[in-house]
Structure 1
C-alpha cells in the first residue's frame, strides 16, 4: 500500500514538474514578445521626429524613452535566462530569474508613471520654454535651428503661439534678412518664401499646440504599455518560484 502511495506521489510530482515547465516556457515566449514590444516602442519614440526633443527644457521625455529601450533589451536577455532555468532544472537560475522579473516590474512601473506624470506637465513646460527657445536660438544654434525648421515644416505651423512671434526673435534683430518668418513656415516651401506673411503663403497654427498633442500621444502610449505589461511579471515570479520549489521536492 505504501509503495502504491509512493508511486502515485512520484507520478504527481513528475506531472506537476512537467506542467510548470510548460507554463513557464509559454510565459517566457510571451515575455520575450513583451520585451520586443518595449524595444519597438522605444525605437519608434526615438526615431519618429526625435529632433523635437531637443526643444524641451528637461530630459524627462528622453529619460522615459531610454528607460523603455533599456527595459526592452533587459527583458529579452532575462527571458533567455528563464528558458535556461526551465531546460536545466536549475533552481539557481530560476531564483535569479524571479529577482530580475521583480526588477523589470519596477522599471516598467517607473517608466509608465514617469510618462503619465510628464504627460500632465508637458503643456506647462512648452508654455514656459518653447517660445524662448525658438526666438533666441533660431539661426544661433545649428541643432536647435534644424529642430525648429523640422517642427514648423512637419507640423505645418509657424511660431510658438502665433507667426507674429518671429518679429521679436534674435534672428530678425541680428541678421540682415528680408524674411518676416522662416521659410519653414511656408505652405509651399521655397527660398525666401518667408518674405510674405499672407495667410495664403504661411501656416498659421501655433506650434505649441501641435507639438503638445504629438508628445502627449507618445507619452500616453508609453505609459499604457509600461503600466499594462508590468503586471505580466507577477505571473512569471509566481511560476518561477513554484517550479523552483517543485524541483526541490522532486530531488528530495
Structure 2
C-alpha cells in the first residue's frame, strides 16, 4: 500500500509545480544565507585564532559553507525542473533525472541536519581549545620582543577590555605566571631579587594584574598591584571589591559569545532543514503524479501521487533483496573446474538444476 497517497487533478498538479518553483528559488536564497553564516563564523574564529589551541574547530564553518553552495546548486536545478513540469509534456526531458535528483536531495537534507547538530555539539571542543589557547597566550604575554609574539600582549589586552574579562578562569590566574618582562625589572632592588629567588623556576610572581583587567565602572582608581594586601590600600577589602577588576574569566566570556552565535546559526540551519524537507516532499509528489499521467496517456486526467509506492517495511525489504541479489551476482562459482578465479554471471545460474549443476545438453539442443 502506498504511503501518503494523494489524488491530483491537472489544475492541482500545475499549482503544485508553480509553488515548488517559487519554494526552490526561496531555497536558493536560504542556501546563500547558510553560506554567509558559515563564512561569518569562520571569520570570527580566525579573528581570535591566537587565543585558541591548534584544534580542528573549523569543520563547522567549512560544513556550512559547503552546504550553502550545494543548496544553491541543487535548488536552482529543482526550480528549473518544477518550472518545466508545469507543462506535462516537458516532463519527459526530466523523467530519468527526477529520481536521482530526489535521492541526492534527500542525502543533502540529511547533511543539513548534521550541520545543525554540529553547531550545538561544537561547544565542548571550543571550550577546550580556548582553555589551552588562553593559557598559552597569558604565558607569552610578556614576550613583546620575541618574533611571532610581538602583538600577543595587545591581543590579550584588547580581549580583556572588549569582553570585560580577566585571565583564563579569573583574575587570580595572573598571580601564577610572570606577566612582566624581565627587561623591565630593576635587579638592583632587593625586593625584586627576593621574589625571583623565592620561586623554584626563577619567575617574578606577584599578586598583580595588567591594566586591561581594571573595571571601568569602578568608583575608585583601579588597584592592580598588591591586590590581596588589604593594608597596602586605604579602606580596601579585596574579597568585597568586586568593582575593582573584571571578575569574569575570558574563557567563559568567549565561550558565551561563540555559543550564542552557534545557537543562532544552528536554529537557522534547523529551520532550513525543515523547509528543504517540505520542498523535497512536494517534488516527490509531483514526480509520482506526473509518472502516473504518462502511464495513462492523457495529460488532462487525474493521477495519484505518493511518498512511497509501498509501505516502509516493503520498501526496505525490496531494497534489501536488491542488495543481496547484487552480492550474489559477484560470488565466485567454485563448481567450474574448481577454479575460484572464474566469475559466473547470475543469469547463467537461472536454469541450473539442484546443487547448482548445469543441465547436460542433448544433441537436439545443439
Q: After TM superposition, is the score higher than 0.5?
A: yes
CA separation in 2, counterparts of 1:112 and 1:60?
A: 18
What's the counterpart of residue 191 of structure 1? none
Deviations 1:185-234 (A, max 9, x none): 4668xxxxx99557888645321221121121122122222333212222
**What secondary structure, in the 3-state scheme, does the structure 2 residue paired with 1:227 have?**
helix
Provide structure 1 residue ranges, at least 5 long, that are not aligned to the other structure: 1-11, 189-193
Check if 1:109 corresponds to 2:113: yes
Does the 8 A contact of 1:155 with 1:210 survive in 2? yes
- Cα distance, 1:33 vs structure 2: 2.9
Q: Which has the larger radius of gyration?
A: 2
Q: Tell me: CA distance 1:15–1:203, structure 2 relative to 1, closer, same or farther (3 Å).
A: same
- Match 1:166 to one of 161, 170, 174: 174
CA separation in 2, counterparts of 1:97 and 1:82?
A: 8
What's the counterpart of residue 42 of structure 1? 38
- Match 1:88 to one of 84, 91, 100: 84
Question: TM-score with structure 2 length normalisation?
Answer: 0.53
Deviations 1:145-191 (A, max 9, x none): 6653442232122211233433544654666469x655654668xxx
CA separation in 1, counterparts of 2:183 and 2:70?
A: 49
Higher helix share: 1
What's the counterpart of residue 219 of structure 2? none
- Cα distance, 1:47 vs structure 2: 3.4
Q: RCO higher in 1 or 2 (8 Å CA, sep ≥ 6)?
A: 1
RMSD: 3.5
Please list, as runs of the form range in 1=range in 2, the aligned pairs for 1:26-175 lying within 5 A after superposition. 26-48=22-44, 50-57=46-53, 59=55, 61-89=57-85, 90-119=94-123, 122-123=126-127, 126-127=130-131, 129-138=132-141, 139=144, 141=149, 147-169=155-177, 172=180
What's the counterpart of residue 211 of structure 1? 254
Aligned residue pairs total 235
Provide structure 2 residue ranges, at least 5 long, that are not aligned to the other structure: 1-7, 86-93, 187-207, 217-221, 228-240, 298-366
Question: TM-score with structure 1 length normalisation?
Answer: 0.73
